[in-house]
Structure 1
Amino acid sequence: MSVIIVFLFVVAGFAGWWLSHQGLMSKPWLEQGLAGDVVALNRSTLPTAKIGLGVFLAVVGCLFALFTSAYFMRMAVPDWQPLPLPRLLWLNTGVLVLSSIALQCTSVAARRGQIDTVRLGLATAGLTALAFLIGQLMAWRQLTADGYLLASNPANSFFYLITGIHGLHILGGLVGLGRTTTSAWTGARPERVRLGVELCAMYWHFLLFVWLAIFALLAGWAATFVDICRLLLT
């Protein structure tokens, strides 16, 4: 429950910050100068697309927070039998880290106008993201071959559910990454390419953070950390 409360505070904080930058509390009839100057001063410097993506990521974060809370509550039941994590997940984690790093480097290159580096970075990020998804499917196949089926145990069901939802978000991100890659190769305006790259990088960094949290949760490290915090607080 505490995890959900934290994420709700984050969402509320982001919403309050965004509203404060929209000039809702301003009093334009008391301002002096040209009307255009007043509007320009109250306008947010962030593009609308970034604000929209930030709100979407906050909602997604709340979704995974709910899954995490349900995971902790369900694992307290005696029939919970955690499944062994395939070693392939370590490799998949490294691949996703490389994908996020590639997009960060691509974002820097886009700011500098290095279009060839941008194209290379986008291709690298896309290929590594595909490799991550393929690796996740291989991990699923390995677990099912070892007898850890979806309905065999609640721990199995949570594993497939959480990793599957995360994979679907990666797949959705590949759609946006594909559109940005197409813009970079078809000679779109540099401002449009730069914005697309920055949005993809923002999305990828978030999904990497979520995956690291999921990996710690499934490996049991998160439960150990919570137990240590409880001992320190008592």
Structure 2
Amino acid sequence: MIKKEKNLFDLLSEKPWDLEQSNQDNLHSGKTINLTKAHLGLKGIMTVSIIFFSLFIVTYADRMLLHDWEKMPEPKLLWFNTFVLFLSSVLFHLAKNKSDILDFKKVKFLLLIIAFLAVVFIIGQVIAWRQLIAQGYFFNSNIANSYFYLFTTLHVLHLVGGLFFLKKATQKVYNENIRAPSIQSSVKLCGIYWHFLFLVWVVLFGLMINS
């Protein structure tokens, strides 16, 4: 059967919202991307966060060139916090792998450890802030101090938000009525967000210790 070529009028009169038309469109290589609301939500959060932090980093780089910039001391505890985030990211990778093979018993254990490490990181940040304040490095003492507290506080807030979604994922793993694909998706998305938090922290930490 010879396929009739479409003329200009046919092309202009196509209805991409029509079911039959969409099925025809999917026969081409550019099929519609299948993304869940959770995937889209995560992509939106990460995109906004990247833009947000990027703007602050640009202003930080410009501001540190002025004469009144006074570098803050580097709390050694921040290195420990960096290791904690790195370990959390590694454990989430393991949790995702265990979830893929339906080993949810180990996934439960790994998620609990990750939640514990997140709390350890937050406590570590609070201790680091208290140490700096005790040394006289207040938020409004110098513009460098302001940026340090701003960066670290924003990152902690993002981590607290991550804990909320980690709680949801953990509840799914413990709920025997939830199907495996739903659990796998939640663990995967939480893992992606945790890797994102670690990368953001590496960028911010590297910027602060070298300024």
TM-score (norm 2): 0.85
The one-letter amino acid of 2:207's match is L
Deviation at 1:198, TM superposition (A): 0.7
Deviation at 1:28, TM superposition (A): 6.4
**Structure 1 residue 118 and structure 2 residue 104: aligned?**
no
**Structure 1 residue 215 and structure 2 residue 187: aligned?**
no
Give the corresponding residue for 1:195.
185
The CA distance in 1 between the partners of 2:152 and 2:24, in whole Å, is 48
CA contact under 8 A between 1:28 and 1:38: conserved in structure 2?
no
* Partner-residue secondary structure (3-state), 2:97: helix
Deviations 1:164-189 (A, max 9, x none): 00100000000000111111112221
* Partner-residue secondary structure (3-state), 2:71: coil
The one-letter amino acid of 2:188's match is E
Give the corresponding residue for 1:92.
81
Deviation at 1:58, TM superposition (A): 1.3
* Partner-residue secondary structure (3-state), 2:154: helix
The CA distance in 2 between the partners of 1:96 and 1:177, in whole Å, is 15
**Structure 1 residue 179 and structure 2 residue 168: aligned?**
yes
Deviations 1:143-195 (A, max 9, x none): 00111111111100100001100100000000000111111112221111111
Deviation at 1:51, TM superposition (A): 2.7
* Partner-residue secondary structure (3-state), 1:67: helix
The CA distance in 2 between the partners of 1:38 and 1:48, in whole Å, is 25
Give the corresponding residue for 2:95.
106
The one-letter amino acid of 1:92's match is N
Size of the aligned set, in residue pairs, is 193
Deviations 1:126-148 (A, max 9, x none): 11111111111110011001111
Give the corresponding residue for 1:45.
34
- RMSD after superposition: 2.0
Deviation at 1:212, TM superposition (A): 0.1
The CA distance in 2 between the partners of 1:39 and 1:122, in whole Å, is 42
The CA distance in 1 between the partners of 2:35 and 2:112, in whole Å, is 27
TM-score (norm 1): 0.77
- Unpaired segments ≥5 residues, structure 2: 1-13
The one-letter amino acid of 2:181's match is E
Deviation at 1:104, TM superposition (A): 1.0
The one-letter amino acid of 1:109's match is K
Task: Please show how residues 215-234 of structure 1 align to structure 2 within 5 Å.
Answer: 215-220=205-210
Deviation at 1:117, TM superposition (A): 1.0
The CA distance in 2 between the partners of 1:86 and 1:113, in whole Å, is 41
Deviation at 1:36, TM superposition (A): 7.6
The CA distance in 1 between the partners of 2:24 and 2:161, in whole Å, is 39
The CA distance in 1 between the partners of 2:24 and 2:184, in whole Å, is 28
Deviation at 1:38, TM superposition (A): 3.9
Give the corresponding residue for 2:49.
60
Identity among equivalent positions (%) equals: 37
The CA distance in 1 between the partners of 2:180 and 2:25, in whole Å, is 26
